[in-house]
Amino acid sequence: MSNFRSGFAAIVGRPNVGKSTLTNAFIGEKAAIVSNKPQTTRTNLAAIDNGENYQIVFVDTPGMHTPRTKLGEYMNTSAGSSLSDVDVAILVVEAGREIYDLEKNIIKNANSKKIPLILAINKADTVEKDIILPQIQAFSEEGEFAAIIPISALKKDGVDAIREEILKHFDEGEPFYDTEIYADSTVREMSAEIIREKILRLFDREIPHGTAVEIESMDESEDVTKIKAVIYCEKESHKPIIIGKRGEAIKRIGSYARKDIEKLLDTQVYLELWVKVREDWRNKGSILKELGYTK
């Protein structure tokens, strides 16, 4: 395959800036879950953009923050590690905001490792244009950038410009992944994430952050795929809230999640949800390991 380019591009930044929205915009599929709450993404995820003469493996990462739990520590380590073996990094920041220390650290880190760094100033659709110019100026004084590009991941504005910039930094080479797939997650992992996304969207602060989802079984032997999933919460008092009055809340999670999982699997789905309490699981190494939140 001559002229074929391939490589890895990490997408990093603070929580809630739009990294996963951008990841999905690049590949035109829903590889990563998205919500308006910070710390939606919990672990690195590879999303694959297969072009005619290129393959870009995007690594969506958890938003970097000051951790307060073991899970938070894992999330930061996971995000930080993405910068050690990629060809390009994309730092996503929000239009119209100050420069955060965390962003300064990412710039220093990428510059010192000589990883080409693209700054994506996201949510440009939410601010007046004249706000962005001084922001570009301020960032360019913080370090070296291969490019600084204002974008709207939501509206897919500027996404192609970033892709073109990324490809400039890739060498010729064979694809790393099967070119038929758009994510390296299993359907079980994706289904669990879809359920977690509905919880993030339906509940407020404390509940979604203390929630984890595990697929207990997935039976695809019949026309209807039967999935049994467990929602873990970290406090006894959260359980009745997740279930809701007469089971209304959990029914809503189930019906939204089922529709998305049906799209993912392209088949009818029967989804059974259970809620279990695992006291303070976000600080328990063994449970984190069980849920896949470990190296």
Ligand X SMILES: Nc1nc2c(ncn2[C@@H]2O[C@H](COP(=O)(O)OP(=O)(O)OP(=O)(O)O)[C@@H](O)[C@H]2O)c(=O)[nH]1
Determine the length of the chain.
295
Pick the closer one to ligand X by CB: 152 or 191.
152
The span from the CA of 208 to the CA of 205, in Å, is 6
The interface region with Mg ion, picked from 13-21, 49-57, 80-88, 282-290 by CB under 5 A, is 13-21
Q: Which residue has the tokens 């004084």?
A: 141
Min CB(196)–Mg ion separation in Å: 12
Min CB(95)–ligand X separation in Å: 8
Beta-carbon contacts of 263 under 8 Å, excluding residues fewer than 6 positions away, are none
Min CB(270)–ligand X separation in Å: 29
How far from the centroid of its chain's Cα atoms is residue 249's Cα? 25
Pick the closer one to ligand X by CB: 4 or 73.
73
Position 23 contacts Mg ion (CB under 5 A): no
Min CB(195)–ligand X separation in Å: 16
The span from the CA of 63 to the CA of 21, in Å, is 13
Pick the closer one to ligand X by CB: 35 or 135.
35
Pick the closer one to Mg ion by CB: 75 or 231.
75
Please tell me the count of residues contacting Mg ion according to CB under 5 A.
4
Amino acid symbol at 266: D
Question: Which of ligand X, Mg ion, none does residue 6 bind (CB under 5 to 8 Å by kind)?
Answer: none
The span from the CA of 133 to the CA of 144, in Å, is 17
The span from the CA of 201 to the CA of 254, in Å, is 13
The span from the CA of 28 to the CA of 24, in Å, is 6
Q: Give the sign of the dihedral formed by CA 166, CA 8, CA 67, CA 282.
A: positive
Question: How far is the first Cα of the chain from the last one, in angstroms, to the nearest whole number?
Answer: 34
Pick the closer one to ligand X by CB: 107 or 269.
107
Pick the closer one to ligand X by CB: 41 or 78.
41
Min CB(124)–ligand X separation in Å: 7
Position 20 contacts Mg ion (CB under 5 A): yes
The span from the CA of 119 to the CA of 96, in Å, is 14
Backbone angles phi and psi of 53, in degrees to 5: -125, 25
Min CB(31)–ligand X separation in Å: 11
Sites of contact with ligand X (CB under 6 A): 15-21, 34-36, 38-41, 62-63, 122-123, 125-126, 152-154
| Residues of span 38-97 touching Mg ion by CB under 5 A | 40-41
Question: Which of Mg ion, ligand X, none does residue 67 bind (CB under 5 to 8 Å by kind)?
Answer: none
Residues that bind Mg ion (CB under 5 A): 19-20, 40-41
